[in-house]
Structure 1
Amino acid sequence: MSKKHRSEHHDEHIDESWLIPYADLLTLLLALFIVLYAMSSVDAKKFEDMSKAFNIAFNSGVNVLDNTTIMETGRQMDDADKNNRKSSDEAKKKENREALMKQEQQDLEELKKQLDKYIQTNGMTTQLDTKLNQSQLMITISDNALFASGSAVVKPEARELAVAISTMFGKYPGYEIVVSGHTDNEPISTSDFKSNWDLSSSRAIRFMDILLSNKSLDPRLFSAIGYGEHRPVESNDTTAGRAKNRRVEVSIIRKFVDPENAVSVPATPKQ
Protein backbone atom coordinates (compact mmCIF):
# COMPACT_ATOMS: atom_id res chain seq x y z
CA MET A 1 0.00 0.00 0.00
CA SER A 2 2.81 2.32 0.89
CA LYS A 3 4.65 1.49 -2.37
CA LYS A 4 1.57 2.37 -4.38
CA HIS A 5 1.28 5.65 -2.56
CA ARG A 6 4.92 6.51 -3.26
CA SER A 7 4.48 5.65 -6.96
CA GLU A 8 1.46 7.95 -7.32
CA HIS A 9 3.33 10.72 -5.55
CA HIS A 10 6.29 10.31 -7.93
CA ASP A 11 4.01 10.47 -11.02
CA GLU A 12 2.54 13.76 -9.87
CA HIS A 13 5.96 15.45 -9.87
CA ILE A 14 7.40 14.73 -13.33
CA ASP A 15 10.84 16.16 -13.82
CA GLU A 16 10.48 19.43 -15.91
CA SER A 17 14.13 20.42 -15.86
CA TRP A 18 14.28 19.85 -19.65
CA LEU A 19 12.35 23.11 -20.17
CA ILE A 20 15.36 25.20 -19.13
CA PRO A 21 17.77 24.10 -21.88
CA TYR A 22 14.85 24.10 -24.33
CA ALA A 23 14.07 27.72 -23.53
CA ASP A 24 17.74 28.61 -23.80
CA LEU A 25 17.87 26.95 -27.23
CA LEU A 26 14.88 28.97 -28.41
CA THR A 27 16.51 32.10 -27.06
CA LEU A 28 19.71 31.43 -28.97
CA LEU A 29 17.80 30.70 -32.18
CA LEU A 30 15.85 33.94 -31.81
CA ALA A 31 19.05 35.85 -31.16
CA LEU A 32 20.67 34.25 -34.22
CA PHE A 33 17.84 35.28 -36.54
CA ILE A 34 17.79 38.83 -35.23
CA VAL A 35 21.55 39.17 -35.63
CA LEU A 36 21.34 37.81 -39.19
CA TYR A 37 18.60 40.34 -39.95
CA ALA A 38 20.63 43.18 -38.52
CA MET A 39 23.72 42.13 -40.50
CA SER A 40 21.77 42.10 -43.76
CA SER A 41 22.19 45.88 -43.89
CA VAL A 42 25.51 47.23 -42.68
CA ASP A 43 24.69 50.00 -40.27
CA ALA A 44 26.90 50.79 -37.27
CA LYS A 45 24.07 52.50 -35.46
CA LYS A 46 21.84 49.44 -35.89
CA PHE A 47 24.55 47.13 -34.61
CA GLU A 48 25.11 49.30 -31.55
CA ASP A 49 21.37 49.39 -30.78
CA MET A 50 21.10 45.63 -31.17
CA SER A 51 24.09 45.05 -28.85
CA LYS A 52 22.48 47.20 -26.20
CA ALA A 53 19.24 45.27 -26.53
CA PHE A 54 21.01 41.94 -26.06
CA ASN A 55 22.94 43.23 -23.06
CA ILE A 56 19.73 44.34 -21.41
CA ALA A 57 18.01 41.05 -22.18
CA PHE A 58 20.82 38.74 -21.03
CA ASN A 59 21.86 40.76 -17.98
CA SER A 60 18.37 41.37 -16.63
CA GLY A 61 17.89 37.71 -15.69
CA VAL A 62 14.57 37.65 -17.52
CA ASN A 63 13.79 35.08 -20.18
CA VAL A 64 14.09 36.68 -23.61
CA LEU A 65 10.75 35.19 -24.58
CA ASP A 66 9.19 37.25 -21.79
CA ASN A 67 11.10 40.47 -22.67
CA THR A 68 9.98 42.70 -25.56
CA THR A 69 13.16 44.79 -25.69
CA ILE A 70 14.73 42.98 -28.63
CA MET A 71 11.52 42.81 -30.64
CA GLU A 72 10.83 46.50 -30.02
CA THR A 73 14.37 47.39 -31.05
CA GLY A 74 13.92 45.38 -34.23
CA ARG A 75 10.77 47.32 -35.09
CA GLN A 76 12.50 50.61 -34.35
CA MET A 77 15.41 49.63 -36.56
CA ASP A 78 13.05 48.74 -39.39
CA ASP A 79 11.26 52.08 -39.07
CA ALA A 80 14.58 53.92 -38.96
CA ASP A 81 15.73 52.07 -42.06
CA LYS A 82 12.57 53.08 -43.93
CA ASN A 83 12.99 56.70 -42.85
CA ASN A 84 16.62 56.66 -43.95
CA ARG A 85 15.68 55.31 -47.37
CA LYS A 86 12.96 57.93 -47.70
CA SER A 87 15.36 60.71 -46.73
CA SER A 88 17.93 59.38 -49.17
CA ASP A 89 15.37 59.28 -52.00
CA GLU A 90 14.25 62.83 -51.25
CA ALA A 91 17.86 64.02 -51.17
CA LYS A 92 18.50 62.41 -54.56
CA LYS A 93 15.36 63.98 -56.04
CA LYS A 94 16.41 67.39 -54.72
CA GLU A 95 19.90 66.93 -56.11
CA ASN A 96 18.53 65.91 -59.52
CA ARG A 97 16.13 68.86 -59.55
CA GLU A 98 18.92 71.30 -58.70
CA ALA A 99 21.06 69.86 -61.50
CA LEU A 100 18.17 70.23 -63.98
CA MET A 101 17.51 73.79 -62.81
CA LYS A 102 21.18 74.64 -63.32
CA GLN A 103 21.14 73.17 -66.83
CA GLU A 104 17.95 75.07 -67.64
CA GLN A 105 19.51 78.34 -66.48
CA GLN A 106 22.51 77.70 -68.71
CA ASP A 107 20.24 76.90 -71.69
CA LEU A 108 18.16 80.06 -71.33
CA GLU A 109 21.19 82.28 -70.77
CA GLU A 110 22.82 80.88 -73.91
CA LEU A 111 19.59 81.34 -75.92
CA LYS A 112 19.34 84.94 -74.72
CA LYS A 113 22.92 85.60 -75.83
CA GLN A 114 22.13 84.26 -79.30
CA LEU A 115 18.99 86.40 -79.55
CA ASP A 116 20.79 89.52 -78.36
CA LYS A 117 23.58 88.93 -80.86
CA TYR A 118 21.04 88.61 -83.68
CA ILE A 119 19.32 91.81 -82.59
CA GLN A 120 22.60 93.73 -82.44
CA THR A 121 23.86 92.37 -85.77
CA ASN A 122 20.65 93.30 -87.58
CA GLY A 123 20.24 96.72 -85.98
CA MET A 124 16.93 95.87 -84.29
CA THR A 125 17.66 97.15 -80.79
CA THR A 126 14.76 99.60 -80.93
CA GLN A 127 12.30 96.98 -82.11
CA LEU A 128 13.24 93.90 -80.07
CA ASP A 129 14.14 93.26 -76.46
CA THR A 130 14.86 90.16 -74.38
CA LYS A 131 14.43 89.66 -70.66
CA LEU A 132 15.25 86.60 -68.54
CA ASN A 133 13.63 86.24 -65.12
CA GLN A 134 12.71 83.45 -62.70
CA SER A 135 9.64 82.46 -64.74
CA GLN A 136 10.60 82.78 -68.39
CA LEU A 137 12.75 84.17 -71.15
CA MET A 138 10.63 86.78 -72.93
CA ILE A 139 11.22 88.25 -76.38
CA THR A 140 9.30 91.48 -76.93
CA ILE A 141 8.80 92.58 -80.55
CA SER A 142 7.34 95.94 -81.53
CA ASP A 143 4.26 95.60 -83.72
CA ASN A 144 5.67 97.89 -86.45
CA ALA A 145 8.54 95.42 -86.90
CA LEU A 146 6.04 92.71 -87.79
CA PHE A 147 2.77 94.19 -89.11
CA ALA A 148 1.33 97.11 -90.97
CA SER A 149 -1.11 99.25 -89.00
CA GLY A 150 -4.37 97.40 -88.32
CA SER A 151 -3.09 94.24 -90.05
CA ALA A 152 -2.24 90.73 -88.88
CA VAL A 153 -0.23 89.82 -91.97
CA VAL A 154 3.44 89.37 -91.09
CA LYS A 155 5.66 91.63 -93.20
CA PRO A 156 7.92 89.77 -95.65
CA GLU A 157 11.06 91.16 -94.02
CA ALA A 158 9.75 90.08 -90.58
CA ARG A 159 9.40 86.46 -91.68
CA GLU A 160 13.19 86.21 -91.68
CA LEU A 161 13.18 87.26 -88.02
CA ALA A 162 10.56 84.65 -87.13
CA VAL A 163 12.51 81.92 -88.94
CA ALA A 164 15.73 82.92 -87.17
CA ILE A 165 14.00 82.76 -83.79
CA SER A 166 12.48 79.36 -84.54
CA THR A 167 15.91 78.03 -85.57
CA MET A 168 17.33 79.11 -82.22
CA PHE A 169 14.41 77.46 -80.43
CA GLY A 170 15.20 74.21 -82.22
CA LYS A 171 18.53 74.01 -80.34
CA TYR A 172 16.70 73.98 -77.01
CA PRO A 173 13.71 71.63 -77.38
CA GLY A 174 11.21 70.70 -74.73
CA TYR A 175 10.24 74.18 -73.54
CA GLU A 176 6.70 75.51 -73.58
CA ILE A 177 6.38 78.54 -75.88
CA VAL A 178 3.61 81.13 -75.48
CA VAL A 179 3.05 83.79 -78.15
CA SER A 180 0.89 86.68 -76.97
CA GLY A 181 -0.45 89.66 -78.90
CA HIS A 182 -1.08 93.11 -77.39
CA THR A 183 -2.57 96.35 -78.69
CA ASP A 184 -3.05 99.90 -77.44
CA ASN A 185 -6.46 101.11 -76.28
CA GLU A 186 -7.46 102.71 -79.59
CA PRO A 187 -10.66 100.92 -80.66
CA ILE A 188 -10.74 99.05 -83.95
CA SER A 189 -13.70 97.83 -85.94
CA THR A 190 -13.06 96.64 -89.49
CA SER A 191 -14.26 93.92 -91.77
CA ASP A 192 -11.34 91.78 -90.59
CA PHE A 193 -11.28 92.60 -86.86
CA LYS A 194 -14.23 93.50 -84.70
CA SER A 195 -12.08 94.47 -81.71
CA ASN A 196 -8.57 94.63 -80.31
CA TRP A 197 -9.14 91.11 -78.98
CA ASP A 198 -9.46 89.87 -82.56
CA LEU A 199 -6.46 91.82 -83.79
CA SER A 200 -4.12 90.76 -80.96
CA SER A 201 -5.16 87.11 -81.21
CA SER A 202 -4.71 86.98 -84.98
CA ARG A 203 -1.28 88.60 -84.78
CA ALA A 204 -0.14 86.05 -82.18
CA ILE A 205 -1.38 83.14 -84.26
CA ARG A 206 0.14 84.40 -87.51
CA PHE A 207 3.55 84.85 -85.92
CA MET A 208 3.29 81.43 -84.26
CA ASP A 209 2.51 79.88 -87.65
CA ILE A 210 5.90 80.99 -88.96
CA LEU A 211 7.70 79.72 -85.85
CA LEU A 212 6.10 76.31 -86.37
CA SER A 213 7.30 76.16 -89.97
CA ASN A 214 10.37 74.68 -88.28
CA LYS A 215 9.30 71.03 -88.17
CA SER A 216 11.77 70.20 -85.41
CA LEU A 217 9.57 72.15 -82.97
CA ASP A 218 6.73 70.38 -81.16
CA PRO A 219 3.36 72.10 -81.81
CA ARG A 220 2.00 70.61 -78.58
CA LEU A 221 4.27 72.95 -76.63
CA PHE A 222 3.01 76.11 -78.40
CA SER A 223 0.04 78.33 -77.63
CA ALA A 224 -1.16 81.74 -78.86
CA ILE A 225 -3.03 84.29 -76.75
CA GLY A 226 -4.59 87.65 -77.49
CA TYR A 227 -4.78 90.17 -74.64
CA GLY A 228 -6.05 93.14 -76.60
CA GLU A 229 -5.33 96.42 -74.79
CA HIS A 230 -5.71 94.93 -71.30
CA ARG A 231 -2.05 94.36 -70.40
CA PRO A 232 -0.23 97.58 -71.27
CA VAL A 233 3.37 98.14 -70.26
CA GLU A 234 3.11 101.92 -70.60
CA SER A 235 0.41 104.55 -70.32
CA ASN A 236 -1.84 104.87 -73.36
CA ASP A 237 -2.01 108.63 -72.84
CA THR A 238 1.02 109.26 -75.06
CA THR A 239 1.97 108.25 -78.58
CA ALA A 240 5.20 106.68 -77.34
CA GLY A 241 3.32 104.73 -74.65
CA ARG A 242 0.78 103.38 -77.12
CA ALA A 243 3.59 102.34 -79.48
CA LYS A 244 5.21 100.28 -76.71
CA ASN A 245 1.90 98.65 -75.86
CA ARG A 246 1.44 97.42 -79.43
CA ARG A 247 3.67 94.37 -79.35
CA VAL A 248 4.05 90.60 -79.68
CA GLU A 249 5.68 88.70 -76.83
CA VAL A 250 7.25 85.26 -77.24
CA SER A 251 7.81 83.59 -73.88
CA ILE A 252 9.95 80.51 -73.26
CA ILE A 253 8.53 79.13 -70.02
CA ARG A 254 10.82 77.60 -67.43
CA LYS A 255 10.15 73.99 -66.48
CA PHE A 256 11.50 74.50 -62.97
CA VAL A 257 10.11 77.54 -61.20
CA ASP A 258 10.97 78.65 -57.69
CA PRO A 259 7.58 79.76 -56.26
CA GLU A 260 9.25 82.33 -54.03
CA ASN A 261 10.94 84.04 -56.98
CA ALA A 262 8.32 83.54 -59.71
CA VAL A 263 7.32 86.73 -61.47
CA SER A 264 3.64 87.62 -61.45
CA VAL A 265 1.74 89.56 -64.10
CA PRO A 266 2.69 93.25 -63.82
CA ALA A 267 0.09 95.67 -62.61
CA THR A 268 -1.64 97.79 -65.21
CA PRO A 269 -0.07 101.27 -65.29
CA LYS A 270 -2.27 104.28 -64.56
CA GLN A 271 -3.89 105.79 -67.61
Structure 2
Amino acid sequence: MSKKHKSEHHEEHADETWLIPYADLLTLLLALFIVLYAMSSTDSKKFQDMSKAFNIAFSSGIGVLEQSAVISNAHQFEDATETRRREANQDMQKKDIEALKQKEQEDLEKLKKQVDQYIKTNGLTTQLNTKLNQSQLTITISDSSLFAPGSAKVKPESRKLAVEISSMLQKYPDYEVKVSGHTDNVPINNKEFESNWELSSMRAIRFMDILLQNKKLDPHLFSTIGFGEYRPIAQNTSNVGRAKNRRVEVSIIRKYTDTSKDATVSVAAGK
Protein backbone atom coordinates (compact mmCIF):
# COMPACT_ATOMS: atom_id res chain seq x y z
CA MET A 1 0.00 0.00 0.00
CA SER A 2 1.53 3.07 -1.11
CA LYS A 3 2.02 5.88 1.35
CA LYS A 4 0.65 9.15 0.41
CA HIS A 5 2.94 11.92 1.17
CA LYS A 6 1.21 15.05 2.17
CA SER A 7 3.04 18.04 0.91
CA GLU A 8 3.79 20.54 3.64
CA HIS A 9 3.29 24.14 2.75
CA HIS A 10 5.42 26.59 4.74
CA GLU A 11 4.05 30.09 4.85
CA GLU A 12 6.61 32.81 4.28
CA HIS A 13 7.16 35.32 7.10
CA ALA A 14 5.28 38.57 6.59
CA ASP A 15 7.33 41.67 5.72
CA GLU A 16 7.60 43.71 8.98
CA THR A 17 9.64 46.64 7.71
CA TRP A 18 6.52 48.80 7.89
CA LEU A 19 6.84 48.73 11.67
CA ILE A 20 9.80 51.13 11.59
CA PRO A 21 8.05 54.15 10.04
CA TYR A 22 4.96 53.22 12.03
CA ALA A 23 6.97 53.39 15.26
CA ASP A 24 8.47 56.72 14.18
CA LEU A 25 4.99 58.03 13.49
CA LEU A 26 3.80 56.90 16.90
CA THR A 27 6.81 58.57 18.50
CA LEU A 28 6.06 61.83 16.71
CA LEU A 29 2.39 61.62 17.68
CA LEU A 30 3.37 60.97 21.30
CA ALA A 31 5.71 63.94 21.25
CA LEU A 32 2.98 66.07 19.69
CA PHE A 33 0.49 65.13 22.41
CA ILE A 34 3.08 65.88 25.08
CA VAL A 35 3.67 69.29 23.52
CA LEU A 36 -0.06 69.99 23.29
CA TYR A 37 -0.48 69.07 26.92
CA ALA A 38 2.46 71.24 27.93
CA MET A 39 1.03 74.14 25.94
CA SER A 40 -2.11 74.05 28.04
CA SER A 41 -0.10 75.01 31.15
CA THR A 42 2.79 77.06 29.77
CA ASP A 43 3.29 80.67 28.90
CA SER A 44 3.70 82.28 25.50
CA LYS A 45 7.49 82.42 25.80
CA LYS A 46 7.74 78.66 26.26
CA PHE A 47 5.36 78.17 23.34
CA GLN A 48 7.60 80.28 21.13
CA ASP A 49 10.61 78.27 22.23
CA MET A 50 8.81 75.03 21.45
CA SER A 51 7.70 76.36 18.08
CA LYS A 52 11.30 77.25 17.21
CA ALA A 53 12.41 73.78 18.24
CA PHE A 54 9.87 72.09 15.98
CA ASN A 55 10.68 74.37 13.05
CA ILE A 56 14.35 73.59 13.39
CA ALA A 57 13.69 69.88 13.91
CA PHE A 58 11.52 69.46 10.83
CA SER A 59 13.70 71.65 8.61
CA SER A 60 17.13 70.36 9.62
CA GLY A 61 16.50 66.78 10.65
CA ILE A 62 17.10 67.32 14.36
CA GLY A 63 14.98 65.01 16.47
CA VAL A 64 12.08 66.55 18.33
CA LEU A 65 13.27 64.94 21.53
CA GLU A 66 16.49 66.91 21.17
CA GLN A 67 14.58 70.18 21.35
CA SER A 68 16.05 71.16 24.76
CA ALA A 69 19.44 71.56 23.14
CA VAL A 70 17.90 73.53 20.28
CA ILE A 71 16.08 75.84 22.68
CA SER A 72 19.27 76.36 24.66
CA ASN A 73 21.14 77.32 21.51
CA ALA A 74 18.35 79.67 20.49
CA HIS A 75 18.51 81.35 23.89
CA GLN A 76 22.27 81.71 23.65
CA PHE A 77 21.96 83.28 20.22
CA GLU A 78 19.28 85.72 21.40
CA ASP A 79 21.30 86.59 24.52
CA ALA A 80 24.42 87.25 22.46
CA THR A 81 22.43 89.41 20.02
CA GLU A 82 20.85 91.38 22.84
CA THR A 83 24.24 91.87 24.50
CA ARG A 84 25.74 93.22 21.27
CA ARG A 85 22.75 95.52 20.78
CA ARG A 86 22.99 96.80 24.34
CA GLU A 87 26.73 97.40 24.05
CA ALA A 88 26.21 99.27 20.78
CA ASN A 89 23.55 101.47 22.39
CA GLN A 90 25.82 102.16 25.36
CA ASP A 91 28.66 103.16 23.02
CA MET A 92 26.34 105.55 21.18
CA GLN A 93 25.09 107.02 24.46
CA LYS A 94 28.64 107.53 25.69
CA LYS A 95 29.56 109.34 22.49
CA ASP A 96 26.44 111.52 22.75
CA ILE A 97 27.15 112.37 26.38
CA GLU A 98 30.77 113.22 25.62
CA ALA A 99 29.62 115.55 22.85
CA LEU A 100 27.14 117.23 25.21
CA LYS A 101 29.84 117.59 27.88
CA GLN A 102 32.13 119.23 25.36
CA LYS A 103 29.37 121.62 24.24
CA GLU A 104 28.60 122.49 27.87
CA GLN A 105 32.26 123.18 28.63
CA GLU A 106 32.48 125.49 25.63
CA ASP A 107 29.30 127.32 26.69
CA LEU A 108 30.47 127.94 30.24
CA GLU A 109 33.96 128.99 29.18
CA LYS A 110 32.44 131.46 26.72
CA LEU A 111 30.09 132.86 29.38
CA LYS A 112 32.96 133.19 31.85
CA LYS A 113 34.98 135.17 29.32
CA GLN A 114 32.04 137.50 28.71
CA VAL A 115 31.60 138.19 32.42
CA ASP A 116 35.34 138.65 32.93
CA GLN A 117 35.46 141.13 30.06
CA TYR A 118 32.54 143.08 31.54
CA ILE A 119 34.29 143.17 34.93
CA LYS A 120 37.53 144.41 33.41
CA THR A 121 35.86 146.99 31.18
CA ASN A 122 33.87 148.49 34.06
CA GLY A 123 36.66 148.41 36.63
CA LEU A 124 34.92 145.93 38.92
CA THR A 125 37.87 143.65 39.58
CA THR A 126 37.69 144.18 43.33
CA GLN A 127 33.96 143.57 43.52
CA LEU A 128 33.35 140.62 41.22
CA ASN A 129 35.13 137.45 40.18
CA THR A 130 34.29 134.20 38.40
CA LYS A 131 35.13 130.58 39.04
CA LEU A 132 34.55 127.60 36.75
CA ASN A 133 34.89 124.09 38.17
CA GLN A 134 33.57 120.58 37.54
CA SER A 135 30.11 121.38 38.91
CA GLN A 136 29.29 125.00 38.03
CA LEU A 137 30.28 128.47 36.91
CA THR A 138 30.03 130.87 39.86
CA ILE A 139 29.86 134.64 39.63
CA THR A 140 30.68 136.14 43.04
CA ILE A 141 29.53 139.69 43.76
CA SER A 142 30.61 141.64 46.85
CA ASP A 143 27.64 142.83 48.92
CA SER A 144 29.08 146.33 49.13
CA SER A 145 28.53 146.76 45.41
CA LEU A 146 24.89 145.73 45.71
CA PHE A 147 23.45 146.66 49.11
CA ALA A 148 23.72 149.21 51.86
CA PRO A 149 24.78 147.76 55.24
CA GLY A 150 22.00 145.72 56.84
CA SER A 151 19.73 146.16 53.80
CA ALA A 152 18.46 143.77 51.13
CA LYS A 153 17.43 146.49 48.68
CA VAL A 154 19.66 146.53 45.59
CA LYS A 155 21.26 149.93 45.07
CA PRO A 156 19.86 151.77 42.04
CA GLU A 157 23.34 152.09 40.51
CA SER A 158 23.87 148.34 40.93
CA ARG A 159 20.74 147.25 39.09
CA LYS A 160 22.63 147.68 35.82
CA LEU A 161 24.99 144.88 36.87
CA ALA A 162 22.10 142.47 37.47
CA VAL A 163 20.52 143.44 34.15
CA GLU A 164 23.82 142.87 32.34
CA ILE A 165 24.25 139.43 33.91
CA SER A 166 20.68 138.48 32.93
CA SER A 167 21.42 139.49 29.33
CA MET A 168 24.43 137.18 29.30
CA LEU A 169 22.42 134.32 30.83
CA GLN A 170 19.69 134.54 28.20
CA LYS A 171 22.19 133.27 25.63
CA TYR A 172 22.35 130.02 27.60
CA PRO A 173 18.70 129.49 28.55
CA ASP A 174 18.81 125.76 29.39
CA TYR A 175 21.00 125.92 32.48
CA GLU A 176 19.80 125.87 36.07
CA VAL A 177 20.74 129.02 37.98
CA LYS A 178 21.03 129.28 41.77
CA VAL A 179 21.39 132.61 43.56
CA SER A 180 22.80 132.36 47.10
CA GLY A 181 23.24 135.02 49.78
CA HIS A 182 26.05 135.06 52.39
CA THR A 183 26.90 137.25 55.37
CA ASP A 184 29.72 137.58 57.86
CA ASN A 185 29.36 136.39 61.46
CA VAL A 186 28.41 139.75 62.93
CA PRO A 187 24.87 139.35 64.35
CA ILE A 188 22.10 141.51 62.94
CA ASN A 189 18.90 142.46 64.69
CA ASN A 190 17.04 145.39 63.22
CA LYS A 191 13.42 146.13 62.41
CA GLU A 192 13.65 144.37 59.03
CA PHE A 193 15.76 141.30 59.83
CA GLU A 194 16.14 139.27 62.99
CA SER A 195 19.08 137.15 61.82
CA ASN A 196 21.75 136.73 59.17
CA TRP A 197 19.67 133.86 57.78
CA GLU A 198 16.89 136.26 56.86
CA LEU A 199 19.25 138.91 55.52
CA SER A 200 21.16 136.49 53.28
CA SER A 201 17.96 134.88 51.98
CA MET A 202 16.29 138.18 51.14
CA ARG A 203 19.37 139.55 49.39
CA ALA A 204 19.43 136.48 47.15
CA ILE A 205 15.73 136.89 46.37
CA ARG A 206 16.02 140.59 45.59
CA PHE A 207 18.92 140.06 43.21
CA MET A 208 17.08 137.20 41.48
CA ASP A 209 14.02 139.42 41.08
CA ILE A 210 16.03 141.77 38.89
CA LEU A 211 17.47 138.88 36.86
CA LEU A 212 13.99 137.56 36.14
CA GLN A 213 12.74 140.88 34.86
CA ASN A 214 14.30 139.57 31.68
CA LYS A 215 11.34 137.64 30.25
CA LYS A 216 13.62 135.52 28.07
CA LEU A 217 14.80 133.65 31.18
CA ASP A 218 12.81 130.69 32.48
CA PRO A 219 11.84 131.14 36.17
CA HIS A 220 11.49 127.36 36.52
CA LEU A 221 15.28 127.09 36.28
CA PHE A 222 15.98 129.66 39.00
CA SER A 223 16.16 129.22 42.77
CA THR A 224 17.54 131.08 45.78
CA ILE A 225 19.04 130.12 49.12
CA GLY A 226 20.43 132.00 52.11
CA PHE A 227 23.43 130.53 53.91
CA GLY A 228 23.82 133.27 56.50
CA GLU A 229 27.31 133.22 57.99
CA TYR A 230 27.84 129.47 57.57
CA ARG A 231 29.62 129.28 54.19
CA PRO A 232 32.56 131.67 54.68
CA ILE A 233 35.34 131.94 52.12
CA ALA A 234 37.66 133.88 54.46
CA GLN A 235 38.32 134.31 58.17
CA ASN A 236 35.90 136.56 60.02
CA THR A 237 38.70 137.86 62.22
CA SER A 238 39.37 140.98 60.13
CA ASN A 239 37.41 143.60 58.23
CA VAL A 240 38.88 142.34 54.96
CA GLY A 241 37.83 138.76 55.67
CA ARG A 242 34.33 139.75 56.73
CA ALA A 243 33.95 141.87 53.59
CA LYS A 244 34.80 138.84 51.44
CA ASN A 245 32.22 136.73 53.21
CA ARG A 246 29.43 139.24 52.60
CA ARG A 247 28.50 138.33 49.05
CA VAL A 248 25.93 137.13 46.54
CA GLU A 249 26.78 134.20 44.27
CA VAL A 250 25.13 133.41 40.96
CA SER A 251 25.85 129.78 40.07
CA ILE A 252 25.20 128.32 36.61
CA ILE A 253 24.93 124.57 37.22
CA ARG A 254 26.41 121.99 34.91
CA LYS A 255 24.08 119.30 33.59
CA TYR A 256 26.95 116.89 32.93
CA THR A 257 29.57 116.53 35.64
CA ASP A 258 32.82 114.58 35.55
CA THR A 259 34.04 113.80 39.04
CA SER A 260 36.99 111.75 37.77
CA LYS A 261 39.00 114.87 37.17
CA ASP A 262 39.03 118.33 38.63
CA ALA A 263 38.57 120.84 35.86
CA THR A 264 38.66 123.79 38.20
CA VAL A 265 39.49 127.07 36.57
CA SER A 266 39.58 129.84 39.13
CA VAL A 267 40.67 133.20 37.84
CA ALA A 268 40.09 136.54 39.55
CA ALA A 269 38.92 138.98 36.91
CA GLY A 270 41.68 141.24 35.61
CA LYS A 271 44.49 139.14 37.13
> Shared fold by TM > 0.5?
yes
Letter in 2 for 1:232: P
Cα deviation for residue 16 of structure 1 reads 3.8
Cα deviation for residue 262 of structure 1 reads 7.2
Report the number of matched residues: 229
Matches within 5 A, 1:1-271: 6=11, 10=14, 13=16, 15-16=18-19, 18=21, 30=56, 64-67=63-66, 70-261=70-261
- CA distance in 1 between counterparts of 2:54 and 2:237 reads 91
The answer to whether the Cα contact below 8 Å between 1:179 and 1:251 also exists between their aligned partners in 2 is yes
Unaligned 5+ segments in structure 2 are: 1-7, 28-52, 264-271
Percent of aligned pairs with the same amino acid: 54
Cα deviation for residue 74 of structure 1 reads 2.7
The alignment partner of 1:109 has SS state of helix
Match of 2:44 in 1: none
Cα deviation for residue 157 of structure 1 reads 1.3
Over 3 Å counting, the alpha-carbon distance change for 1:65 and 1:31 in structure 2 is closer
Cα deviation for residue 169 of structure 1 reads 0.4
Cα deviation for residue 20 of structure 1 reads 11
Structure 1 length normalisation: TM-score? 0.76
Over 3 Å counting, the alpha-carbon distance change for 1:29 and 1:154 in structure 2 is closer
- CA distance in 2 between counterparts of 1:205 and 1:28 reads 72
Structure 1, residues 216-242: CA drift from partner, whole Å, max 9, x if none?
111111111111111110000001000
Unaligned 5+ segments in structure 1 are: 35-57, 264-271
- CA distance in 2 between counterparts of 1:76 and 1:105 reads 43
The alignment partner of 1:179 has SS state of strand
Over 3 Å counting, the alpha-carbon distance change for 1:29 and 1:132 in structure 2 is closer
Letter in 2 for 1:10: A
Moved over 3 A (4+): 16-23, 31-34, 63-72, 259-263
Cα deviation for residue 77 of structure 1 reads 1.3
The alignment partner of 2:92 has SS state of helix
RMSD: 3.0
The answer to whether the Cα contact below 8 Å between 1:135 and 1:262 also exists between their aligned partners in 2 is no
Structure exhibiting the larger radius of gyration computed from Cα positions: 2
